[in-house]
Structure 1
Amino acid sequence: MDAADPTRLAEKLRLAFDLHEAGVALMRQNLRRRLPEATETEIDERLAAWLRERPGAEFGDAEGQPVPGPRPAR
């Protein structure tokens, strides 16, 4: 199957969304464990902050120096 095949690309996108959902669910459980007295609203707020700030990955997940975007097309 060609890497640019629309079906394959759609499968990869669905997998990325599924992985994102799993990560969010894991972090929600982590927050509930760490903050057993927190309300659901407080958990939601902390989860949203975590998604926005991404401690440890403020500039993305890749190694290297952040550069202003957008980068020129190759």
Structure 2
Amino acid sequence: MADDELRLRLQAALDLFEVGFEMQRSRLQRENPTATDDEILALLNAWMVARPAALSGDAIGRPGGLVA
């Protein structure tokens, strides 16, 4: 795979992460309208650590590992 294609794929992944992060921030702000920015940030950090949508990992296979 060419370096340019890898660079584009990585940029797309990073862009998607940023969009998802901002969507989650917006959701948390809607659900907690009186929360301060620091409180929203704490909720975002807790969400990132807990990863409720990926309890078994990000893909089929052994969670958290790419090597056998």
Q: TM-score, normalised by structure 1?
A: 0.79
TM-superposed deviation, 1:67: 5.5
Q: Which is helix-richer, 1 or 2?
A: 2
Name the structure 2 match of 1:54.
51
Where do 1:26-65 residues align within 5 Å? Answer: 26-63=23-60
Q: Which amino acid aligns with 1:35?
A: N
**Could you say which structure has the larger radius of gyration?**
1
Runs of 5+ consecutive residues of structure 2 not aligned to the other structure: none
Query: What is the total number of aligned residue pairs between the two structures?
Result: 68
Q: TM-score, normalised by structure 2?
A: 0.86
Name the structure 2 match of 1:71.
67
Runs of 5+ consecutive residues of structure 1 not aligned to the other structure: none
2-structure distance, mates of 1:68, 1:27: 23
Indicate the RMSD between aligned Cα atoms, in angstroms.
1.9
2-structure distance, mates of 1:70, 1:23: 23
What percentage of residue pairs aligned between the two structures are identical? 38
Distance 1:70 1:26, change over 3 A: closer
Q: Deviations over 1:19-74 (max 9, x none)?
A: 0000000000000000001110000000011011111312313245x4674623xx
